[in-house]
Amino acid sequence: MLKVSSYVENPSCLWGRFVKGPGIEAVENKKEYDDLQMKMNLFYHEVNLNVQKIKPSTIEVGQVCVVYWSALRSWCRAIVESLFLGTVGTQAMCFLVDHGERVIVSSDEIRALLDKFLQLPFWVRKFQLAGVHPMTLQVSGDCLEKAELIPSTQWDSSICVNDDLVSKKFAYFTSQKAHQTSGKNGVDRSPAVLACDIFSETQNFLATDGCTVRSLSDFPLRQQDPIVHNQGECTFSYCEVFIKNSLLLDRTQEFVFTEQPTIEEELVCARLLQLLNPDPLNPDIIHTDPSRSGIVVHSAFTLDPCTSLANAPITDTFRRILMRKKYAGPSLAESYCWPAVARGCDTVLISHSGDQPLTYIPPFLAHMQLSSVFSALSSRTGPIAVILCPGWEKAQTVIDLLEESQTVQVLHPMVILLGLGKDEAKTVKIQNNCQVVVTTPFSLVRLLRLHCFLFLRLCHLALDEVDLLFSRAPDEMTTILQHFQRVTASEERVSCPRQIIAVGKRWSRHLEGLLHNHMSNPTVVVTVMEEAALYGNVHQIILLCLDCTKTSVLLGVLDFTPDVAQKTLVITNSAEEAEHVFKAVSNTSAFSLKAHEELTYQFDSVTEQWKKPIGPGTHVILVTTNECMKSLGICDATCVVHYGFPSSPKLFGSRLFCMSQNFQNLSDKTCSGRRLSVLLLSERNARHVIGVLRYLKRTEASLPPELLHFAQGVLRAKEEQKSDRPLCSYLKSFGFCRDSSVCSYRHSIRPITDQPLQPDSGTIVVLPLFIKTASVYYGRIVSKKEDSYESLAAEMTTYYATEKLGAKEVLEGGLYGVQEDEVYHRVRVTSVPDKGEWIFYSVRALFLDEGREQEVKSHQLLQLPAQFHILPPQALEIIVCRAMPIDAEVKWNPKVTRAISQKIKGLQHQAKVVLCLGNTVFVDPMVRMTRLPGLKTFINEYNVHAEILSTGMGTSNPQHLDLLKELCQGAGPGASAGEAPLTTG
């Protein structure tokens, strides 16, 4: 049997909780509800919450909500039972569904209940005694001496269990048949004995639903409902009886009741009522103050964010385009950035979406088209705006978006990408009606050297992925900004607009110089909290210690007699850790406070004391946990101590944001106050070291040498985990990887894995068949003697000329034949889609003797006899050494690859092998040799390396081979290449 703990209103209304029974663990059950209570308190107690956003739009009887219960000092789930007009306005009687209590609250104190707090069923249930009904004493009006007990609709205040109620004449028993007969004459008042046979079948249970009496046989049992046997005395089934959140009880000494309803059934009513709210709550966007959303917005003027496309400062054309794309924005970053850009203000945006052109393009185009800049500068020619991109690939993305935005007829945008050719810049023609040029810093500087007069109308400079622009082309960016400053500072340009837009994902010191030297009254928006701390110039201190000495190190770093007022936040990772630290700091001269998940009822008092003004020499220390930071809403701390290590950059940033009021403000060139971050690193934080070091290096903090040495060891260990991964393609192509710490491929040589499968020296004749990039090809080695592949190709042609059978079954990894024109190829299927009911479909196939991989229609696959499996795949990778893209690019421009492909594909070349790793040969040089007609003399028609450089999009990479050989010489468990060395800053 199940047992419940309850309190009683009357025998028809007993409120209780399950404490024991089949499938019920009381301790686990209580922990779940305690956790729910804690999470609700943390959320609704958050001091930065916009209360108006979490109030229900309407309050109705039966509505599910959240109210504050002063007796427990906690936020609780409740149902509104009644509304009435009190002395201080509308008040509500609310029933606390997890506590079984009723409270009266003001309607202004009611909060909406979020879906995430509805995952557990209400903890208390309504029970009622089965088979007993109330009686009352009726006195005859004409004779006061005559009185009798009759059935009643209400219970007297006396309460007892079934047997006692009947024996004391407070109740009577009824059978199902008798209860269905109306009037007192039809009532069977026999003092029936409560024998076990009344439980023998489910139809003996009665459930009430309003005034209707139902047999439980009306409620079908679920298949999973257990059959419970009670020591062989009585047998009954737990049924699905759930009517208006009421459960049926029979025998109160040993409560017998139906099975607890499922969560889905429990929440049906609650969810229906929740849907009555016409403005569904989203806890992530309920803040209106940007600081409450964890972002920094520094602006010289009041910035009203746009909250929807309907009120966004963009053109109707662009609005329709975004709606067609089902664009979900504007995002939090765009809601603040778009208004500033549309007003023509200098703007800096640092956001996770900072690499997306939509963060600035829509309002930028609107401002361009609606401003009067055209008439003001009509006497000159040349673009009015330049959009700088970090590479050719991003430039192409931006120009595609501009063309899609239907601004071509008005702004006539064009993309300009220049190589290193001598006369390339001279031949550039910019149309007279071109208003917007999309280019890269390197290309623009080449243009300015010869055509600076074409950029005298510049009014707008947009820096796309500004962090990459400064890191890859710092000198070029300096030249461009100086030119922009000169042309916009002339007296004749006083009435013309002037705007710089800088958008990126990361803050850098270069941006500080951009704001100070080239922007006027800028708007700064930073939506990434860890980047906001970099912008705010938080000073970082890293202390190494053993985990057992963290407390003493903490006490040693704190200044208990400061010259100026200090507010220090010590953040731990658990309530137990917070109590331990608080005990230590409370013994000092500092004024100490604590707040963690188990003390939510003290949050108001803690925040009140924290906010009190303090004078010089006072040090307030608050010890708290990660979970409580939002609830406390602190943003004026002067120091944050990371006693518990932050497990992610986001958590690290949220901690640092507790000092946001003291961040430097580069919009008005002010610095609000002190801001210090102290990170305690112990041996338990080893797996997080690389991530935090990557961030701390950008702060220019002094890093302990021991930490750097340890980090190098962690990097080597991580490289070890990539032993089964392919060798990094950038490492092979250029000798280095741009960022091996985040690259998922291998950067170390493995003697077994990379054992040469092709000649590692000497001269060979190669036939390039698939041109992957300008310097990487796939093809075959052509033998001067007997060519095995040529013999195989001839045999396949003969075979398929007489018998061409289609593949019976297409399997991943299977070998098949494919015909292209008159040539037959061997292929291996690398992936097969889930074809479902499709008859025709395509598969991905690798051409074993050419190296290319492409889509092939399944019905084109031919059976490949076993004799054609014997010859190993003939394709190998060929890399031309000492060539790389210009302008710090890591990808070749497609027009370079296209030009080289047209030049060398399908033609035999003589190449000198200088290195071989696995199936990859590195050649230097690779030349096309042509025999003179009628003579035995050969001449070098061209050198592939020289051809790459002649396109103007390639440059020499003299360190390529040296880096690869160095990598091979250090081959072993710890050898790696392309790693950016960790320095002390």
The segment with the largest mean pLDDT, out of 150-159, 269-278, 540-549, is 540-549
Range 329-335 average pLDDT: 89
Q: What pLDDT score does 638 carry?
A: 94
pTM of the shown model: 0.75
Q: How confident is the model at residue 946 (pLDDT cuts 50, 70, 90)?
A: very high
Number of other CB atoms surrounding residue 309 within 10 Å? 17
3 state SS of 892: coil
Range 503-507 average pLDDT: 96
Q: What percent of the chain has pLDDT over 70?
A: 80
- Residue among 717, 784, 742 nearest 974 (CA): 717
Alpha carbons 919 and 375: distance in angstroms, whole number = 63
Per-residue pLDDT at 451 exceeds 90: no
Q: What pLDDT score does 496 carry?
A: 82
More confident residue, 280 or 710: 710
Element (H, E) at 211: none
- Report which DSSP code applies to 406: T
Output the CA torsion sign for 366, 367, 370, 376. Answer: negative
In whole angstroms, what separates CA 56 from the centre of its chain? Answer: 29
Q: What percent of the chain has pLDDT over 90?
A: 43
The average confidence (pLDDT) of the chain is 80
Q: What does each C-alpha distance from 556 to 67, 681, 776, 968 come to in angstroms?
A: 44, 15, 58, 48
Q: How confident is the model at residue 981 (pLDDT cuts 50, 70, 90)?
A: very low
Number of other CB atoms surrounding residue 788 within 10 Å? 13
3 state SS of 464: strand
Q: What pLDDT score does 799 carry?
A: 93
Per-residue pLDDT at 266 exceeds 50: no
Name the token pair of 957.
């990479």
Range 643-672 average pLDDT: 86
Q: What pLDDT score does 282 carry?
A: 43
Output the CA torsion sign for 533, 534, 536, 540. Answer: positive
Q: What pLDDT score does 298 carry?
A: 93
Name the token pair of 945.
């390396």
Name the token pair of 511.
């941006």
Q: What pLDDT score does 239 carry?
A: 30
Alpha carbons 49 and 71: distance in angstroms, whole number = 23
Range 657-661 average pLDDT: 92
Per-residue pLDDT at 72 exceeds 70: yes
More confident residue, 216 or 141: 141
DSSP output for 36-73: HHHHHHHHHT-TT--GGGGS-S---TT-EEEEEETTTT
Lowest mean pLDDT among 63-77, 107-121, 659-673, 969-983: 969-983
Per-residue pLDDT at 842 exceeds 80: yes
Query: For residue range 185-241, what is the model confidence (pLDDT) as tens digits?
Result: 444 443 333 333 323 333 333 333 333 333 323 333 333 333 333 333 333 223 333
Per-residue pLDDT at 765 exceeds 80: yes
- Report which DSSP code applies to 872: P
More confident residue, 86 or 971: 86
Range 439-455 average pLDDT: 92
In whole angstroms, what separates CA 263 from the centre of its chain? Answer: 29
Q: How confident is the model at residue 252 (pLDDT cuts 50, 70, 90)?
A: very low
Alpha carbons 459 and 461: distance in angstroms, whole number = 7
Q: What pLDDT score does 158 carry?
A: 53
Q: What are phi and psi of 689, to 5 degrees?
A: -60, -45
Per-residue pLDDT at 741 exceeds 80: no
Q: What pLDDT score does 179 carry?
A: 44
Number of other CB atoms surrounding residue 670 within 10 Å? 9
Per-residue pLDDT at 433 exceeds 80: yes
Residues 848-881 as b or e (16 or more Cβ within 10 Å = b):
bbbbebeebebebbbebeeebeeeebbbbbbbbb
Alpha carbons 122 and 135: distance in angstroms, whole number = 32
3 state SS of 947: helix
The segment with the largest mean pLDDT, out of 84-93, 510-519, 700-709, is 510-519
Residues 923-933 as b or e (16 or more Cβ within 10 Å = b):
bbbbbbeeeee
Alpha carbons 677 and 557: distance in angstroms, whole number = 11
Q: How confident is the model at residue 619 (pLDDT cuts 50, 70, 90)?
A: very high
Q: Judge if the upstream peptide bond of residue 280 is cis by omega within 30 degrees of 0.
A: no
Alpha carbons 142 and 317: distance in angstroms, whole number = 88
Range list of H helices, 154-285: 162-167, 176-179, 263-275
- Which domains are delineated in the chain? 1-175+192-203 (2.30.30.140), 266-274+289-527 (3.40.50.300), 531-716 (3.40.50.300), 729-775+881-969 (2.40.50.90), 789-869 (2.30.30.140)
- Residue among 638, 657, 647 nearest 572 (CA): 647
Per-residue pLDDT at 83 exceeds 90: no
Ramachandran region, residue 354 (left: φ > 0; alpha: ψ -120 to 50; beta: rest): alpha
Query: For residue range 456-497, what is the model confidence (pLDDT) as tens digits?
Result: 889 999 999 999 999 999 999 999 999 999 998 877 777 788
Those residues whose C-beta lies under 8 Å from the C-beta of residue 919, and which sit 6 or more positions away, are 757, 758, 876, 877
Q: Judge if the upstream peptide bond of residue 925 is cis by omega within 30 degrees of 0.
A: yes
Alpha carbons 567 and 294: distance in angstroms, whole number = 20
Task: Identify the burial level of 284 via C-beta atoms within 10 angstroms of its C-beta, where 0-12 means exposed, 13-18 middle and 19 or more buried.
Answer: exposed
Q: What pLDDT score does 615 carry?
A: 86
Alpha carbons 251 and 466: distance in angstroms, whole number = 75
Q: How confident is the model at residue 389 (pLDDT cuts 50, 70, 90)?
A: very high
Query: For residue range 558-579, what is the model confidence (pLDDT) as tens digits?
Result: 888 888 889 999 999 999 999 9
Q: What pLDDT score does 736 carry?
A: 92
Those residues whose C-beta lies under 8 Å from the C-beta of residue 392, and which sit 6 or more positions away, are 417, 440, 889, 891, 893
The amino acid occupying position 416 is: I
Q: What pLDDT score does 184 carry?
A: 43
Alpha carbons 898 and 892: distance in angstroms, whole number = 10
Task: Identify the burial level of 740 via C-beta atoms within 10 angstroms of its C-beta, where 0-12 means exposed, 13-18 middle and 19 or more buried.
Answer: buried
Q: What are phi and psi of 706, to 5 degrees?
A: -60, -35
Q: What pLDDT score does 875 carry?
A: 94
Range 964-978 average pLDDT: 64
Query: In the chain, count of helices (H) and strands (E)?
Result: 27, 46
Range 339-345 average pLDDT: 93
Alpha carbons 248 and 213: distance in angstroms, whole number = 12
- Catalogue the E-assigned strands of 715-832: 762-771, 776-781, 815-820, 823-831
* Residues 457, 381 contacting (CB under 8 angstroms): yes
Alpha carbons 627 and 571: distance in angstroms, whole number = 10
DSSP output for 466-481: HHHHHHH-HHHHHHHH
- Residue among 125, 138, 194, 207 nearest 166 (CA): 194
Those residues whose C-beta lies under 8 Å from the C-beta of residue 472, and which sit 6 or more positions away, are 390, 441, 887, 888
The tokens 């006072």 sit on which residue? 618
Supply angle C-alpha 971, 973, 977, rounded to 5. 55
Q: What are phi and psi of 427, to 5 degrees?
A: -85, 0
Per-residue pLDDT at 248 exceeds 60: no
Alpha carbons 459 and 475: distance in angstroms, whole number = 22
Alpha carbons 167 and 164: distance in angstroms, whole number = 5
